[in-house]
Structure 1
Amino acid sequence: MENQILIPKSSLEFLHKLKANNNKPWFEANKTKYLVELNHIENFAGALLQELSKTDVLETVSGKKSVYRIYRDIRFSKDKTPFKTFWGGSFTRATAARRGGYYFHLEKGNSFFAGGFWGPNAADLKRIRHELNLDAEPMEKILQSESFVKTFGTLQGETLKTAPKGFDVNHPAIDLLRYKQFLVIKRFTDEEVLSPLFLEQALDACKNMRPFFDYMSEVLTTDINGASVL
């Protein structure tokens, strides 16, 4: 890979210090340092976006625009600390035909890439469950594939304790039918994040989400008869 963009140790250390000093006076006093570290993260995100765009069509146009603001929205939160203590961002896939999206979270001791469906609406959830009820084999094949298991382990997300209304508790795919969220997560150690190989490893994680995304896109852009709804 041509782009060997590194995330420096200082980018994670800054967040660690911010966590211990999560207040506006400290942040303002260290604003210059923050902007230096933010630039490192934006450069990394830009390099990843460039590589990922070779295999997927993305709506996100730059690494800078992909990175979330450091300022927390505290209006409706009991936690009034003003700043996030992680670098986060996402890449949005383009057009209604491509469902799912890529999310990254970089934090000392808690870094991961994730994708999927955090809060599917009622119609989408019903459509997914209907498809799994009819034939869960395509989804099971993806979840049991070597690349998926090696990268993500298992499908993650909140589940119901019993069968969803209208579905047989004894259905062979009841474990899949219980899902309320459909998430794939790849965690990285600090050593991996700071390694020259991280860009390539992050790209591989994103690429390995694609069979899952493609399946969900197929389901969510068709009706129960397989006809396009776009």
Structure 2
Amino acid sequence: MLQTDTLNFLTNLKENNSREWFQANKERYDEAHQDMLGFATQLIKELSKADTGVDSNVEPKKSLMRIYRDIRFSKDKTPYKTHFAVGRLTKHKSVEIGYYLQVEPGNKSFIAGGYWMPQGEHIKAIRQEIDYNAADLTAIIDEPQFKKAFGEFREQEKLKTLPKGYEADNKHIELLKLKSFIAYRNLTDKEILSADAPKKIATLCEQIHPLNVFLNNAIG
């Protein structure tokens, strides 16, 4: 169970995003980081029951992303992220396909899965799979419980023009125009702090799992 102090630390970090403040509050960070490691451990255990691509023995440290920002090419020079994130959980063919949890106070936490902004051969392969086997994808994304949890899949960012090789009268053109293939669900502070949060998040990921399978099959 995630502790309220962890969210409080992130709130304070957002208000005081400097190396000086961070060093003065290093002990608080260490406690929050340890709390997130414990949460990640619980989540991995629950996820491994829902998706065999998740290794129940993976080290939580490898799934918890660094809080330090890469500011070399950014106009925003604040040194720290104001959230914790858990990812890199699956053994799928593409490390880009999987699950991502972001913990951020102010009801800004979320769980997501699928493939964000595939490029090159991957986006071509996914569009080809949709063109050939759209019924498999629509069966996943139009399933009532999926739509209830994640909303309308087709409302993600799309191309303004037609994708190369496809015509406007294609029955599934709105899916073919997608730039990302993500299932996304916001989580409130109350939800992320609840005792059964890892199990509930794993249940959401279980609903995302068929989408990940479709995408992995597409890129071969």
Task: Establish whether TM, by shorter chain, passes 0.5.
Answer: yes
Q: State whether structure 2 residue 89 is matched by structure 1 residue 92.
A: yes
2:53 is aligned to 57
1:195 is aligned to 194
Letter in 2 for 1:201: K
Which of 103, 107, 113 matches 1:106? 103
For the 8 Å contact 2:88–2:95, the answer to whether it is kept is no
1:122 is aligned to 120
CA change 1:119–1:22 in 2 (3 A) is: same
User: Tell me, which stretches of 5 or more residues in structure 2 are unaligned?
Assistant: none
2:213 is aligned to 214
Distance 2:88 2:199 in 1: 16
1:154 is aligned to 152
1:40 is aligned to 35
Distance 1:176 1:218 in 2: 17
Deviation at 1:91, TM superposition (A): 3.3
Distance 1:126 1:97 in 2: 15
Identity %: 37
Distance 2:109 2:92 in 1: 28
For the 8 Å contact 2:2–2:36, the answer to whether it is kept is yes
For the 8 Å contact 1:49–1:91, the answer to whether it is kept is no
Structure ranking higher in helix proportion: 2
CA change 1:97–1:86 in 2 (3 A) is: closer
2:77 is aligned to 80
Deviates more, 1:199-208 or 1:53-62: 53-62
Aligned length: 216
1:228 is aligned to none
Deviation sequence 1:26-54 (CA, Å, 0-9, x none):
10000001100111111000111122123
Deviation sequence 1:147-173 (CA, Å, 0-9, x none):
311221122642101311221111111
For the 8 Å contact 1:113–1:187, the answer to whether it is kept is yes
Letter in 2 for 1:167: Y
For the 8 Å contact 1:99–1:217, the answer to whether it is kept is no
User: Tell me, which stretches of 5 or more residues in structure 1 are unaligned?
Assistant: 1-5, 222-230
Deviation at 1:98, TM superposition (A): 8.5
2:168 is aligned to 169
Q: Tell me how large the CA RMSD over aligned residues is.
A: 1.8
Distance 1:212 1:149 in 2: 13
Give the secondary-structure state (helix, strand or coil) at the position aligned to 2:101.
strand
Deviation at 1:141, TM superposition (A): 1.0
Deviates more, 1:212-221 or 1:105-114: 212-221
Give the secondary-structure state (helix, strand or coil) at the position aligned to 2:88.
strand
Distance 2:195 2:150 in 1: 21
Give the secondary-structure state (helix, strand or coil) at the position aligned to 1:191.
helix
2:179 is aligned to 180
Deviation at 1:128, TM superposition (A): 1.4
Letter in 2 for 1:203: A
For the 8 Å contact 1:129–1:177, the answer to whether it is kept is yes
Deviation at 1:69, TM superposition (A): 1.0
For the 8 Å contact 1:86–1:106, the answer to whether it is kept is yes
